[in-house]
Copies of this chain bind each other. A is one copy, B any other.
Amino acid sequence: MQHIWIKAIKENGKVKGDYLVQSKTVAQTRQGNSFLTLTLADRTGTVEAKVWDRVEEISTQFKEGDIITITGQANTYRNQIQIQIHELKQNKSPVDPAVFQESTPKDITEMFSELKKLAHQIKNRHLRALIESFMADHQFISQFKKAPAAKTFHHGYLGGLLEHTLSVSQMAVMVTEHYPDLDDDLLLCGAILHDIGKIDELNFELSIEYSDKGRLLGHIVLGILMVEERLKTLKDFPSELALRLRHLILSHHGEFDSGSPKRPKFLEAFALHLIDDMDAKMNGLGRLLKDDRQEGSWTAFNNLFQRYFFKGDSSAKANDKGVDIDGRQQRQRYLFPVD
């Protein structure tokens, strides 16, 4: 069955597909008739939908958090798209989570294989043993490959943590080649491990949310605890090396205000912080600029950065949009092959 992505719904167009019920309310018209207001979601956004008929009967068939299959028609109410639902049933068959959550555009298996190759380049046997200890933990790796790197902004989608980790690690290798005074093994190992605490900081089953321990402890401290547990099993790990590695993780946000309990105190710690910052900005701003739908040469005001971003002459961006749409169509074909 074909799924119409929410972002692709057009005024007066047909709507058809599986959607997550984010909220569900029964209310009365002024004439006293019940109607149902739903907020439906897929990974491309949310939309309001109405059921005007057989409300009591339909209303009992599903609850918030369920996935429903509908057909309907889109119209506009107060400048917002609104769906009039004609048919509705609860979806009982297994659904591809990727319909409801965005995933990395890159291939997870390939990226992980790249990361392993980099890890094999670590010459220091202690650091290599540490990384291998993580790599050998199937439960950890399964989560590591699935986790996003953030709730929003940069790499905020399934597989984002791996994508970000690989990119930071590749940059770490390039930077140590450019600045040979840097300890390449230490920086690469810090790059691989710097954000592993995100696995515990975020819940990412249905949607990306902070976990309780994420908000109370944060991924920096959670990551330190994960590394500590492994270090205990590696008996002759040199103490200064362990100290430097822990410091890399602790200080990788660079400043107290960004939640680092310590600021960088040696070269590799500065390097890791700057590479991480670069990768977060290139991914986060890159996506923001691509996804921006504001007319003209500037994005909407961005609260995180407290500024507008420059997109420049929009004619030059035509290709990008084309590619983007193609990408979406291809992924859709994969998810909902035509029967």
Q: How far is the CA of A292 from the CA of B51 in the complex (A)?
A: 31
Pick from B171, B212, B274: contact of A281, CB under 8 Å: B274
The answer for the CA separation of A216 and B175 in the assembled complex, in Å, is 23
Cα separation A270 to B280 with both chains bound (whole Å) = 11
A79 at the interface (CB under 8 A from B): yes
Task: Tell which of A113-121, A149-157, A306-314 binds the partner.
Answer: A306-314
As for how many copies of this chain the complex holds, the number is: 6
Q: By the criterion CB–CB under 8 Å, are B178 and A216 in contact?
A: no
**In the assembly, what is the distance between CA of A195 and CA of B307, in Å?**
22
Q: Nearest chain B CB to A213's CB is how many angstroms away? A: 6
Q: What per-residue 1/0 map shows which CB atoms of A160-175 lie under 8 Å from chain B?
A: 0000000100110011
Check A37 against B79 for contact (C-beta < 8 Å): yes
Question: Does the CB pair A216–B259 fall under 8 Å?
Answer: no
Q: Is A294 positioned at the interface, with any CB of B under 8 Å from its CB?
A: no
Which residues of B are found within 8 Å of A267, using beta-carbon distances? 281-282, 285-286, 289
CB-contact partner of A25 in B79, B247, B258, under 8 A: B79
Q: How far is the CB of A76 from chain B (nearest CB, A)?
A: 4
Interface status of A112 (Cβ within 8 A of chain B): no
Nearest to A182 among chain B residues (CB) is: B282
Q: List chain B residues, Cβ under 8 A from A170.
A: 178
A240 in the interface (beta carbon within 8 A) = yes
Set B228, B277, B305: member contacting A225, Cβ < 8 A: B228
Contact of A212 among B79, B277, B310 (CB under 8 A): B310
**Chain B contacts of A247 at CB under 8 A?**
216-217, 310
| Contact partner, A266, options B244, B256, B310, Cβ 8 Å | B310
A-B contact list, 18 entries, CB within 8 Å = A11-B27, A167-B178, A171-B178, A179-B286, A212-B297, A215-B308, A218-B250, A218-B261, A221-B224, A221-B261, A224-B224, A225-B228, A240-B312, A256-B257, A256-B258, A259-B261, A265-B309, A267-B281
